Amino acid sequence: MTTVGRELSISSSRSEWRLRLPLPLIDAARLAIKHPLGVFGALCVLLIVLVAILAPLITSYDPTDASYGILQKPSESHFLGTDRAGRDVLSRVVWGSRTSLTVGAIVATLGAMLATLLGLIAGYFQRWPDYLIQRGSELFSMMPDLLILFLFVFAFGPGFNTLVVALSVVGAFAGVRVIRSAALSEKQNQYVEAARSLGAGHLRILLRHILPNLLPLAIVLITTRISSVILAEASLSFLGLGVPPPNPSWGADIGGQARTYFRAAPWLALAPGIALSLAVLGTSLMGDALRDILDPRLRGRR
């Protein structure tokens, strides 16, 4: 074989090797390079998820057991010490990740579902349904989120169910306008007019033609809402209005006793505070990156 033939053979084999590279890996690498902060946020979220899943393996102490000695300093038996009730701090931080992730995922999903439902109704039917939903959205947007949460808690009492319902309603009305605008735009497309001319009813048009095109927006609402939900849950628990004790909660552990004993036992506030900051930062960065990827029109808007 001549030199030219060998070069052609080598170049062709290299091109074949390039063609055999899996495209999903190439796309993932490009997205990672384009969104490094999103990758960092995803790694933070992955770490917290693994901690929540492996909680029984990470620590063997019961987070609600108060028989380990009061305000013990960090040691080999209690890596982050104990609180004033005699509970292991590491166990409460680890198991508190389950509380935050559970509340964040449930509330963000329910809020996005409710926002999608109300936005579809307002954008498609318009007229009086649109008027009522828009006025309700404006009313909720004028009030601070914490004030709305306080009203729910005072009306129905503190507890997990009240927390989930209140945060879901707040998140739903925060995303209604985005879904309504997209539904109104989709309604004016030609394929909707074609389906209507073929005899398709309102429900079929909404479920088969408009809703599938709004699913990326719903995913964006979920991912961008999780961080604020985690922070809101921690704020209510900090004030004693969130997750009922003695269930582990980062916000409750920061506010209940850490302020009083911060100088004598700083680990009581630092451990859950660092975990909460990492969770909020990670979910926020990951949500922003997914928002830019799935719907660039929402870039820079929360």
Tokens representing residue 270 in the block: 């630092």
Q: Is the pLDDT of residue 264 over 90?
A: no
pLDDT of residue 16: 43
Question: What's the predicted TM-score (pTM) here?
Answer: 0.78
Tokens representing residue 11 in the block: 């170049």
pLDDT of residue 11: 44
The DSSP-derived string for 257-300 is: TTTTTTTT-THHHHHHHHHHHHHHHHHHHHHHHHHHHH-GGGTT
Of 80-94, 218-232, 251-265, give the lowest mean pLDDT range. Answer: 251-265
Q: Which regions of 56-204 does DSSP assign to beta strands (E)? A: none
Half-sphere exposure of 127 (CA within 13 A, CB side): 1
Per-residue pLDDT tens for 125-151?
Answer: 888 888 888 888 888 888 887 788 888
Local confidence band at 281 (pLDDT 50, 70, 90 cut-offs): very high
pLDDT of residue 138: 83
SS3 17: helix
Domains contained in the chain, CATH given? 78-298 (1.10.3720.10)
